[in-house]
Amino acid sequence: MTDAQKAPDLSTGYRTHSCGDLRASDVGEKVKLAGWVQNRRDHGGLLFIDLRDRYGPTQVVFHPEGKETFAAAEKLGAEFVIHVEGEVAERPAGNANPKLTTGEIEVHAAKLEVLSTAETPPFEIQDWIDAGEEVRLRYRYLDLRRPVMQKALLARHRGVLAVREFLSGEGFVEVETPLLAKSTPEGARDFLVPSRLYPGKFYALPQSPQLFKQLLMVAGFDRYFQVARCLRDEDPRADRVAEHTQFDIEMSFASQEDVFRLGEGVMRALFKGGAEIDLATPFERMTYAECVRRFGCDKPDLRFGLELADVSEIVKDSDFKVFRGAVEAGGVVRALAAPGCASWSRKEIESLVPVAEPFGAKGVAWVKFEAGEFAGGIAKFFAKDVLASIAKATGAESGALIVFVADKPKVVDASLAALRNHLGAKLELAEDGFRFLWVTDFPLFNYSETEKRWTSEHHPFTAPAREDLDLIESDPGRVRSQSYDLVVNGMEVASGSVRIHEERLQKRIFEALKLAPEQIEERFGFFTRALSYGTPPHAGLAPGVDRLCAIMLGLESIREVIAFPKTQRAQDLMTGAPGEVDAKQLRELGIRPGD
């Protein structure tokens, strides 16, 4: 059912219909309505009230003949909650509002009851308000009255419901897993909860139900799902929140191909149920290595080109010392061609440098290519045939600006990926629609310069590629994983993997991560023991509900589809969380105030 369709039976003592219910076919009917006063207008002795609830608005008319009712209506303010009784009438000729589903009618009020008065709101309850996000979050209960916010949450509801129905139809069972669990610090930072009954010990709030869903596979529930709340105590990031919701899915006796088929079904159900959008499947696929080579990152936006080109071999013997030195030091020189940007001024070109610098780039070199000629920037350091080779490698056409970054591969890739996204947005290159991509064959390990050890690229329960098992101890950096991400329009929206289901292989991975036997037992002993009791091969996926709904609805921030979100710094401006607690509570938990 869409928002424009007739609402369900909501009749109570306060209302016979919702404020979005009435049509021309109801003219002459006696009705009761209840809702919020959107605004009040005085037109030649008649008072008009737009009465609103989440189903829409209805125009209510008060006539001076009903003195008491009219006098009460004159005192109504914005956001008062009222109950009215009256008769449905057709609007006078020429006064219909085709933009409203109730635009052909109005209700002539015979009775008015004020159920609740309201202070003047800090902003108008309208879709077009320009209040800042902090004000909106501080008064979130008012912000959520706005139709645009209600439509977003209703679309989310319909989408989640459609996914639940889809997964149930595929034989999945919804199971709730614990919120108070054991801390297993091998991922992001946990939110810790002190135990009153066991002083000095702590629960951890779940970053995901990862181990519990795998244990459900051990238990024989071969198809599990949950709309799960997940919490991570991460440093502030623009695209993350401290608590999020995900569709948590796990399947026994399943391969990567099975997960892809199911995941695409989940996406179809969500977009169709939430926004009446039909997605084309199957989705595109690309290995991690190919993504990085072509786009510099593992979550490329495929709605536009601007592919990267490695020009290290072309420039390694050039007179330009920066390029030559980078290649000699084991680095790379890569480039991309920005169409139509040869006309840019030096100031415009230099504005690209701050885009790349946060990723480690020491600068951005450039050359203009126009009408077969090369000019500006570093063009003077290269022979024309070398520049022609660069133009060919980057696919540059006349009028292009070719930009370069030279450094270690990770710095170059990250910097050019940021430049590519920046240019794609600035030049408005992205096509409309949704370009989904499965990214596969991620590295199993990532070397941490800080910790001086190998860490998990995703998490330590991801299965290695079978053909790379012999490399786990001898060459960890070359081990590929059986993990995969789902990306859409340059954003990761789901992550998953084939899991390790053999106790010995799981312990090998822990050992490769430099966990001592006693650490393995303390943190994961319950889990490795479970694997020893007959565990089926299994795999899973965890699509993020918040981000997917925001993308589906074309919203820039995931906070627009979360009822009560935290700020980027994990604060709840409405309730004041996190807040202090009194000394008595701390003493009960064995925590001394001031520690």
The residue from 429, 448, 467 where one domain ends is 429
- Do 464 and 508 fall within a single domain? yes
How many of the other CB atoms lie within 10 Å of CB of 473? 11
Q: Please indicate, yes or no, whether residues 270 and 240 belong to a single structural domain of this protein.
A: yes
Helix ranges, 90-219 (H): 133-138, 140-143, 147-169, 210-218
> Does residue 73 sit in the same domain as residue 112?
yes
Residue 577 carries which DSSP code? Answer: B
> Higher pLDDT residue, 497 or 593?
497
Residue 424 lies in a domain: yes
Structure tokens at 327: 């290649």
Identify the domain boundary among 429, 447, 474: 429
Residues 230 and 330 occupy one common structural domain: no
pLDDT-derived band at 236 (thresholds 50, 70, 90) equals: low
Token pair 């409309």: residue: 432
Same domain, 156 and 278: yes
Based on the structure, what is the number of domains in the chain?
A: 3
Distance CA 244, CA 570 (A): 12
51-61 exposure pattern, b = at least 16 Cβ within 10 A, e = fewer: bbbbbbbbbbb
Of 366, 400, 429, which marks where a domain is finished?
429
**Residue 58 sits in a domain of what CATH number?**
2.40.50.140
Is residue 143 situated within a structural domain? no
CA torsion, ordered 451, 454, 458, 463, to nearest 10 deg: -150
Residue 309 counted as domain residue: yes
Give the lowest-confidence range in 13-17, 28-32, 567-571: 567-571
| Confidence at 365, pLDDT banded by 50, 70, 90 | very high
Q: What is the pLDDT of residues 423-450, one digit of tens each?
A: 999 999 999 999 999 999 999 999 988 8
**CATH assignment of the domain containing 545:** 3.30.930.10
Is 145 within a domain? no
pLDDT band at 98 (very low <50, low <70, confident <90, very high): very high
Q: What is the pLDDT of residue 7?
A: 54
Crossing angle (nearest 10°) for helices 256-275 and 147-169: 140
Mean pLDDT, the chain, integer: 94
For residue 240, what are the domain limits? Answer: 150-287+437-561
Q: Looking at the domain assignment, is residue 587 inside a domain? A: no
- Residue 344: which CATH number? 3.30.1360.30
pLDDT tens digits for range 368-401: 999 999 999 999 999 999 999 999 999 999 999 9
CA–CA dist 412, 414 (Å, integer) = 6
Residue range 469-487: average pLDDT? 97
* Concatenated DSSP letters of 333-390: EEEEEETT-TT--HHHHHTTHHHHGGGT-S--EEEEEETTEEESTTGGGS-HHHHHHH
Q: Does some domain include residue 318?
A: yes
Kindly indicate the confidence band of residue 238, based on its pLDDT and cuts at 50, 70 and 90.
low
Q: 3-state class of 87 per DSSP?
A: strand
Q: Are residues 455 and 423 part of one domain?
A: no
**Which of these, 27, 28, 23, lies nearest to 58 by C-alpha position?**
23
Domain identity same for 157 and 276: yes
| Residues 444 and 420 occupy one common structural domain | no
Query: Does a structural domain hold residue 162?
Result: yes
Q: Do the domain assignments include residue 122?
A: no
Q: Are 84 and 159 in the same domain?
A: no
Tens-digit pLDDT profile for residues 188-226: 789 999 999 999 999 999 999 999 999 999 999 999 999
**DSSP states along 480-522:** BBSEEEEEETTEEEEEEEEBP--HHHHHHHHHHTT--HHHHHH
Same domain for 273 and 233, yes or no, is yes
Do residues 278 and 321 share a domain? Answer: no
Among the listed ranges 11-15, 238-242, 522-526, 562-566, which one has the minimum average pLDDT value? 238-242
Q: Are residues 192 and 283 in the same domain?
A: yes
pLDDT of 3 > 70? The answer is: no
Calpha distance 382→336 (Å, rounded): 17
Share of the chain above pLDDT 90, in %: 90
Within 13 Å, how many C-alpha atoms sit on residue 440's CB side?
13
Can you give the pLDDT at residue 8?
A: 72
pLDDT of residue 186: 60
For the record, the structure tokens of 318 come out as 């050039």
